[in-house]
Amino acid sequence: MEQAMRGFFLYLSRNKALTKVAKKYGLQFGAKRFVAGDTINLAVDVIRGLNNKGLDVTIDYLGEFIESEEEAMEMTNQCIEAIQAIGRESIESQLSLKLTSLGLDLSSDIAIQNMKRILDEAETNGVFVTIDMEDYSRCEKTLRIFKELKTKYDNIGTVIQAYLRRTENDMKELDAYEPNLRLVKGAYKEPKEVVFPKKQDVDENFKKIIEMHMLNGHYTAVATHDDKIIEYTKNLVLKHNIPKEQFEFQMLYGIRTEKQEELVKDGYRMRVYVPYGTDWYGYFMRRLAERPANVAFVLKGMSKK
């Protein structure tokens, strides 16, 4: 039942018509639990509140289904505006983005040129930028662009997904770039032949790549809400005397907030992934797919309308 519900929400996340409806009617029906607001000013207020609790942040201006260079340019401008706000307001935040929102599906050249504009502004303001990983069909393009940009910019990282069979080889190829990586389980519905089908296998691969990246001496962001993975990471760094300055935990805004604050109190760096913007629908549906129990919050929100 849970697997069927997950597939249902992932299907909804790719529905362009519903995305347009969601944009029209705004943040309603529980999405505010996971999305900071539809403007950068609202997001800044959320970031400042999190910073006051000792939490670091990475901000993401949500955007999917870019169909023109003009839309990609607008997304780029929004990212630059977010970077400038981080610098102006002196808040602790990085920036996360998706290459599809910058025109990847139009052409790699468009995405690269938009990324260079963003990274130049980020360098000026001392902001680190992470390229989010998307579905399998865009994985190779994303890694190729990351490698190209990493030779010119230091303030850039990307994401590796544990549920993909190709991940271990990708990690080995990336090692030469001394990358700052966010390691995640993965949240897209993919063909069976490219992913580990069983949760146990995904978890074991997740542990493997965490150990691999940390022992290679590279900065590691362990993005998980799973207590077992968190405890595994804590034990790993103790066993190998890995300094706390070499890694951090990451979680999503609105999920396990008490655990986030607990990690900070225990002396760990904890970063919250804070999305904002009008194009929140696809992101919201993937959160429901990851944890169908979140549907309860949606129903609660609908009952108040």
Question: Quick check: helix, strand or coil at residue 134?
Answer: coil
Categorize the per-residue pLDDT at 301 as very low, low, confident or very high, splitting at 50, 70 and 90.
Answer: very low
Return d(Cα 70, Cα 80) in angstroms, integer: 15
Mean pLDDT across the chain: 87
Q: Indicate whether 249 pLDDT > 60.
A: yes
Q: Cα dist. 73→256, 297, 302 in Å?
A: 35, 35, 35
Decide if 102 is inside a domain. yes
- What φ, ψ does residue 207 adopt, rounded to 5°? -60, -40
Categorize the per-residue pLDDT at 79 as very low, low, confident or very high, splitting at 50, 70 and 90.
Answer: very high
Please report, for the domain that includes residue 207, its CATH number.
3.20.20.220
The total of other beta-carbon atoms located within 10 Å of residue 36's CB is: 27
Per-residue pLDDT tens digits for 130-165 = 999 999 999 999 999 999 999 999 999 999 999 999
- Under DSSP, the state recorded for 278 is S
Q: Where are the beta strands (DSSP E) in 155-285?
A: 156-161, 181-184, 220-223, 247-252, 270-276
Question: Quick check: helix, strand or coil at residue 52?
Answer: coil
Decide if 265 is inside a domain. yes
Decide if 234 is inside a domain. yes
pLDDT, position 9: 43
Of the candidates 302, 278, 292, 299, which has an alpha carbon nearest to the alpha carbon of residue 42?
Answer: 278
Q: Indicate whether 238 pLDDT > 60.
A: yes
Share of the chain above pLDDT 90, in %: 73
The domain of 107 spans 36-279
Number of compact structural domains in the chain: 1
Per-residue pLDDT tens digits for 164-203 = 999 999 999 999 999 999 999 987 878 889 999 899 999 9
Categorize the per-residue pLDDT at 128 as very low, low, confident or very high, splitting at 50, 70 and 90.
Answer: very high
Per-residue pLDDT tens digits for 22-45 = 454 545 555 677 889 889 999 999
Decide if 24 is inside a domain. no
Decide if 198 is inside a domain. yes
The total of other beta-carbon atoms located within 10 Å of residue 83's CB is: 25
Contacts for 230 with CB less than 8 Å, ≥ 6 apart: 222, 224, 249, 259, 263
Return d(Cα 201, Cα 205) in angstroms, integer: 6
- Name residue 91's amino acid: I
Mean of pLDDT values over 238-257: 95
pLDDT, position 17: 54
pLDDT, position 2: 44
Decide if 243 is inside a domain. yes
User: Residue 248 in contact with residue 10, Cβ under 8 Å?
Assistant: no
**Please, how many CA atoms are within 13 Å of residue 10, restricted to the half-sphere of its CB?**
16
Decide if 10 is inside a domain. no
Q: Is the dihedral of CA 278, 123, 142, 228 positive or negative?
A: negative
Decide if 1 is inside a domain. no
Of the candidates 28, 36, 27, which has an alpha carbon nearest to the alpha carbon of residue 58?
Answer: 36
pLDDT, position 292: 54
Active-site residue numbers? 132, 182
